[in-house]
Chains A and B, each alone.
Chain A
């Protein structure tokens, strides 16, 4: 299977993933934010691979029972007619609430009363709901870190109200206006709303957003995100981050994006994406023994890049 990503081509690689008794070759191809090139790649791969994952963007946003379709993502989805194409959002909806519940029960921090900054919640509404259910006091930064509007959203209800007003139109905009793609993912961080980071015990959400706007110091804080690289972890440690929680599953000791795993699951099971429901994803996560990764960065040696599990 191939993961076609709008992220940087510098992280391209090929690996093997052993899943459900199948050995699957996983190839990641980054297109540096170029939607046209990614669309051509999906069309060229159509019929030649078992499944295609879309990385670096969400095609579907699921918010409070409504589904919004990101226009650029839909273009990529429709570029293939024969091969199933998935963006990982189906798996993510099941996996992230499960990760939060696990962390609330077994993690190193008490979640009740924990002050959380979610830099973006519209792309991971399930995580937002799970954090509130765990008793966290969550500030949603969708307006702050997206369009740069100095308005912290203080409740899920307000998030839902604002989403109903904005989401249907915002998803029509080019993806580069909505999300850091290509070289924007590698630009040096520029602190935005540092006071929001400062008042949080836990910063949660997409790592490209967290990284892009994080302040110089994050002493003692925890980060809950999808996935990080060894360089990212070094940078977080340098800024004083204590705990790093990543939701992206480890399979055979390696970390794979949700789009990769969802595509691999399709390839291994031979099922169509529309045949997989929440129960199917839960069963899959049970079978791989899913739990989030907990890293104590203070205990890691400088320069270490281990993806070991703790907690």
Chain B
């Protein structure tokens, strides 16, 4: 199980990598979304805010009341996705990752996570 502190560090590393990539900044331009990330087993809630082509980490206290995108899974799965060890596609298709969002937002998030980590 991955705890909230460790997941926070993983998300911050993801944010740094995203924000260091000017191509991703251009791709995310105009996409203003809050993403809530919830671990079913560990109980924590963390988040990301995408705005102005940049991403910001949100800890539990900074989370808004609602988010346009909600990701819910086991903490190990979420950690693996944001570490770039696991594509979100497989857990989404086998049902172990629940994504509550529009299909358009889900596609964009899929693209961004794949672009962050590369081949």
Contact B118 A151 (CB under 8 A): no
Whether A146 and B107, one on each chain, are in contact in the complex, defined by CB atoms closer than 8 angstroms, is yes
Tier of interface size on chain A = 10 to 19
Contact between chains at B115 and A165 (CB < 8 Å)? yes
A151, B114: Cβ atoms closer than 8 Å: no
Binds A, one of B4-12, B39-47, B61-69, B85-93: B85-93
CB contacts (< 8 Å) of A164 on chain B: these are 119
Query: Once the chains bind, are A172 and B104 in contact (CB under 8 Å)?
Result: no
Given A143-B27, A165-B119, A169-B87: A148 in contact with B104 (beta carbons within 8 A): yes
B111 interfacial contact with A, CB 8 Å:
yes
Please report the C-alpha to C-alpha distance between residue A173 and residue B99 in the assembled complex, in whole angstroms. Answer: 14
* Pairwise interchain contact B27-A150, C-beta atoms closer than 8 A: yes
From A147, A150, A172, B111 is in contact (CB under 8 Å) with A147
Q: How large is the interface on B (under 10, 10 to 19, 20 to 34, 35 or more residues)?
A: 20 to 34
Min CB distance, B68 to chain A, in Å?
Answer: 14
CB contacts under 8 Å to A, within B81-102, are 87, 89-90, 93
Shortest C-beta distance, A70 to chain B (Å), equals: 13
- B29 contacts which of A150, A169, A172, A173 (Cβ < 8 Å)? A150
A170 at the B interface (CB under 8 A): yes
Chain A min CB distance to B113 (Å): 9
Mark contacts of A141-158 with chain B using CB atoms, 8 A cut-off: 1 yes-contact digit, 0 otherwise.
001001111110000000
Q: What are 29 inter-chain pairs, A to B, with CB distance below 8 A?
A: A143-B27, A147-B107, A147-B108, A147-B110, A147-B111, A148-B104, A148-B107, A149-B27, A149-B28, A149-B31, A149-B111, A150-B26, A150-B27, A162-B115, A165-B118, A166-B111, A166-B114, A166-B115, A169-B87, A169-B114, A170-B89, A170-B110, A172-B89, A172-B90, A172-B93, A173-B89, A173-B93, A173-B107, A177-B107
Given contacts A143-B27, A151-B23, A172-B90, 15 further A-B contacts (CB under 8 A): A143-B111, A147-B104, A147-B107, A147-B108, A148-B104, A148-B108, A150-B30, A164-B119, A165-B118, A166-B111, A166-B114, A169-B87, A173-B93, A177-B103, A177-B107
Residue ranges of B at the interface with A (Cβ–Cβ < 8 Å) = 23, 26-31, 87, 89-90, 93, 103-104, 107-108, 110-111, 114-115, 118-119
